[in-house]
Amino acid sequence: MGALTGQVAVVAGATRGAGRGIACALGEAGATVYCTGRTVRGRPSTFGRQETVEETAELVDAAGGTGIAVRVDHTEPDRVRELFDRVDSEQGRLDVLVNDLSGNDQLDFGMFSDRARRPFWENDPGTDLKALDVGIGAHFTTSHFAARLMIRRHRGLIVEIGDGNFVGYNNAGVAYSLMRTSEVVLAHLMAEELRPYQVAAVSLTPGFLRSEQMLEAFSVSEDNWRDAVTPGSDFGNSESPLYVGRAVVALAGDPHVMARTGHALSAGYLAREYGFTDADGSQPPGYRAESRFEEGLFAFYNGESG
């Protein structure tokens, strides 16, 4: 039996990247995982990607869990409500929600994208607002319906996946920075209202993630990615999507996770604390040390108080 056998998780944005890795790690731990996203077989991605939520659910099965693929546009509240009504009807519980919904595709975001690096006033505000609808609005909506199931049982974990466990400007631009900062702030704010119900909310960042798009950008695969590593390259410290997934599993299995509620966490730092590794047995370095808000200030947390 896995560490999370009998538990039920929803991974919102499980089609590819970190979301897929997280779903697979939850499957490794024996969980039942609802894998949601907009791209399903016969309805390809609007930005040229081929991965589907059905593939992710099959990978969850292969890892030892139970994968359930559900097409959901998380910017549509009625569809999100239907998702959690289904989870409640079929499972009667929800233990973990992971929000990995990204507005990157709306921004045409990529490591080589000139558009992502233009100042905000040179961009189309309508395009940026569509990205924020996914990167902020959909997170809020999804957490809204998930929380209703969790508080009923006085237990649960909500994980906001971001890009950097800090509050500030990201070199990819204002809209992207606003999405990523909001994930950190949202976890902190939700934690304040969820704490009496023993439901934890945290934000979590991977390090240099070897997503499908990143591997393609370097013209390598997961099998030969080290061929693209050059002296002094940050890519040498990159991590597979499974690594941040195992961080989620560690948090979900920690009986003292409430001590971390509201905090901004990093997969690499958690790996050293909990002892998990990446798929190849390595422990890539973390992004930044654990941080949190305290009396209105956001700063490094030394773990001395709850």
Task: Report the CATH number that the domain containing residue 259 is assigned in CATH.
Answer: 3.40.50.720
Strands (E), 119-164: 156-161
* Relative orientation angle of helices 267-274 and 241-252, to the nearest 10 degrees: 50
**Average pLDDT score, the chain:** 89
Return the active site residues. Answer: 176
Within 8 A by CB and 6+ apart from 284, the residues are 207, 208, 237, 238, 239, 243, 268, 271, 278
Three-point CA angle 248, 253, 254, nearest 5°: 100
Average pLDDT over residues 27-52: 82
pTM: 0.93
Average pLDDT over residues 165-179: 87
pLDDT band at 303 (very low <50, low <70, confident <90, very high): low
User: Is the Cβ–Cβ distance between 121 and 60 less than 8 Å?
Assistant: no
Question: Tens digit of pLDDT for each residue in 119-162?
Answer: 889 888 898 898 899 989 999 999 999 999 999 999 999 999 99
pLDDT at residue 109 tops 80: no
pLDDT band at 225 (very low <50, low <70, confident <90, very high): confident
Domain that holds residue 109: 8-294
* Relative orientation angle of helices 125-132 and 174-194, to the nearest 10 degrees: 30
* pLDDT computed for residue 115 by the predictor: 54
Instruction: Evaluate whether residue 2 is within a structural domain.
Output: no
Helix (H) or strand (E) segment spanning residue 41: none
Distance of CA 232 to the CA centre of its chain: 28
Number of domains the chain is built from: 1
